[in-house]
């Protein structure tokens, strides 16, 4: 059973009055992550909206020790900190339970710039959790395309719409043979909470990716962050799944879509609510462009359905 909202703990690791835009999915998700991790954790960040949102010295928005590291280095930096706390414990200079070492990194810092160091940390199976809050673009620098930007989406570097599909980063992490991989999104806080609680209890490398609809980059109305997250799941554009020791299972409501019990909503409504797509859907090729977006989604659902059958 998924943890209900009323069962979530009271602790707040994201403090009110931070620097993020109103309606930002990053603090929204991080609040839930914080409830699962508790205060005994060390947070690492790479350049991103989450860093810009930390606020101004001498105040800090996140209620953990925070380390800002170079863009490419989330994997290696977190590995180093995780090693350091273990050695401090061995030497008796750190008492009690070891803090959870985790990265809070954007899609730019995960899919693209940080991929090599992250891949290496996964291959070493270092004891960290890497969170990717995926707003499908480099939002902090004014919305440029990333490897997570879906086909057909406007960014400042894809003014005519991105021509390539996004990569399946969570699956790439799974193929590193790490003990835990999960996907989540802000509309389903109980699902996210349970996945983080599970990840915290597993030694080794954990990867959790959270779809994070950004009203500024995606060009929808500010109050619609959660709606957009829900529509992404209901249309199958985002699949909720987790894999323990390589075995994939789908979570509700994605499990109904993947198993065919329920049809995914057509992608049209999701796409038409977002300026990043709909601004390019005014010409005579609009139907073909939507069909391409739908095709990518259908292909991913079919692929993940088959991939999940491999359990060896």
Contacting residues toward other proteins, per CB under 8 A: 5-6, 8, 10, 12, 14-28, 31-32, 53-65, 186, 189, 222-227
Taking CB under 6 A as the rule, does residue 215 contact ligand SF4? yes
Sole window of 71-79, 146-154, 189-197, 212-220 interacting with ligand SF4 (rule: CB under 6 A): 212-220
134 binds ligand SF4 (CB under 6 A): no
Could you say whether residue 256 binds ligand TPP (CB under 6 A)? no
Helix (H) or strand (E) holding 249: strand 247-250
**Helix pair 115-124, 74-90: axis angle to 10 deg:** 40
Do the bridges between strand 206-211 and strand 180-185 make them parallel or antiparallel, or are there none, so unpaired? parallel
Give the nearer residue to ligand SF4 in terms of CB position, either 53 or 79. Answer: 53
Of 36, 50, 80, give the one whose Cα is nearest residue 199: 36
Residue 49 interaction partner, one of other proteins, ligand TPP, Mg ion, none, beta carbon < 5-8 Å per kind: ligand TPP
Residue 20: contacted member of ligand SF4, ligand TPP, Mg ion, none (CB under 5 to 8 Å, by partner type): ligand SF4
Q: Is 152 in the site for ligand TPP (CB under 6 A)?
A: no
Evaluate whether 30 touches 193 at the Cβ level (below 8 Å): no
CA angle at residue 189 from 187 to 195, to 5 degrees? 125
Does residue 146 belong to the site contacting ligand TPP (CB under 6 A)?
yes
Q: Taking CB under 6 A as the rule, which mask of x and - marks residues 103-142 in contact with ligand TPP?
A: ---xxxx-------------------------x-xxxxx-
* Minimal distance, residue 62 CB to other proteins, in Å: 7
Give the nearest distance from C-beta 189 to ligand TPP in angstroms. 20
Q: Which of 23, 47, 189, 213 binds ligand TPP (CB under 6 A)?
A: 47
Q: Rule CB under 6 A: is residue 270 a binding residue for ligand SF4?
A: no
Residue 130 near residue 206 (C-beta atoms within 8 A)? yes
- CA 6/CA 270 separation, integer angstroms: 29
Task: Determine which residue in the list 37, 41, 49, 105 makes contact with ligand SF4, applying CB under 6 A.
Answer: 49
Q: Give the Cα-Cα-Cα angle 172, 188, 272 (nearest 5 degrees).
A: 80
Minimum separation from the CB atom of position 218 to ligand TPP (A): 11
Beta strand spans in 65-198 (E): 66-68, 100-106, 129-134, 180-185
Report yes or no: 152 and 277 within 8 Å, Cβ to Cβ: yes
At 253, phi and psi to the nearest 5? -90, 0
Binding of ligand TPP at residue 25 (CB under 6 A)? no
Shortest separation between residue 163's beta carbon and ligand TPP, angstroms: 20
Tokens describing residue 216: 């500024």
The item of other proteins, ligand SF4, ligand TPP, none sharing an interface with residue 256, based on CB under 5 to 8 Å by kind, is: none
The upper half-sphere exposure of residue 29, i.e. CA atoms within 13 Å in the direction of its Cβ, equals 32
Residue closest to 135 by CA, chosen among 207, 72, 85, 210: 210
Smallest gap from Cβ 270 to ligand SF4, in A, equals 18
The distance from CA 274 to its chain's CA centroid, rounded to whole angstroms, is 19
Applying CB under 6 A, the residues found at the interface with ligand SF4 are 20-21, 24, 26, 49, 53, 135, 139-140, 214-217
Contact positions vs ligand TPP (CB under 6 A): 47-50, 71, 106-109, 135, 137-141, 146
């Amino acid at each position: 059973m998924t943890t209900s909202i009323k069962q979530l703990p009271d602790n707040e690791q994201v403090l009110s009055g931070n620097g993020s835009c109103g309606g930002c999915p990053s603090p929204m998700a991080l609040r839930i992550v914080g409830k699962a991790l508790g205060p005994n954790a060390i947070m690492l960040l790479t350049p991103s909206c989450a860093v810009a949102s930390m606020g101004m010295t001498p105040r800090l928005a996140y209620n953990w020790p925070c380390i800002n590291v170079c863009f490419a280095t989330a994997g290696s930096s977190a590995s180093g900190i995780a090693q350091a706390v273990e050695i401090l414990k061995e030497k008796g200079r750190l008492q009690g339970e070891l803090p959870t070492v985790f990265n809070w990194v954007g899609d730019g810092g995960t899919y693209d710039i940080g991929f090599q160091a992250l891949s290496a940390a996964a291959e070493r199976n270092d004891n960290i959790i890497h969170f990717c809050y995926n707003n499908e673009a480099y939002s902090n620098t004014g919305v440029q395309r990333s490897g997570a930007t879906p086909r057909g989406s406007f960014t400042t570097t894809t003014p005519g719409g991105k021509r390539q599909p996004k990569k399946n980063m969570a699956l790439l992490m799974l193929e590193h043979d790490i003990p835990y991989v999960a996907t989540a999104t802000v509309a389903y806080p109980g699902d996210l909470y349970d996945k983080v609680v599970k990840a915290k209890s597993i030694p080794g490398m954990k990867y959790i990716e959270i779809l994070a609809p950004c009203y500024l980059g995606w060009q929808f109305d500010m109050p619609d962050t959660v709606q957009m997250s829900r529509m992404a799941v209901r249309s199958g554009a985002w699949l909720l799944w987790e894999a323990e020791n390589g075995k994939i299972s789908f979570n509700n409501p994605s499990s109904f879509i993947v198993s065919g019990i329920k049809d995914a909503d057509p992608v049209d409504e999701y796409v038409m609510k977002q300026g990043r797509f709909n601004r390019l859907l005014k010409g005579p090729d609009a139907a073909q462009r939507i069909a391409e977006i739908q095709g990518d989604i259908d292909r991913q659902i079919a692929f993940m359905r088959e991939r999940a059958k491999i359990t060896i």
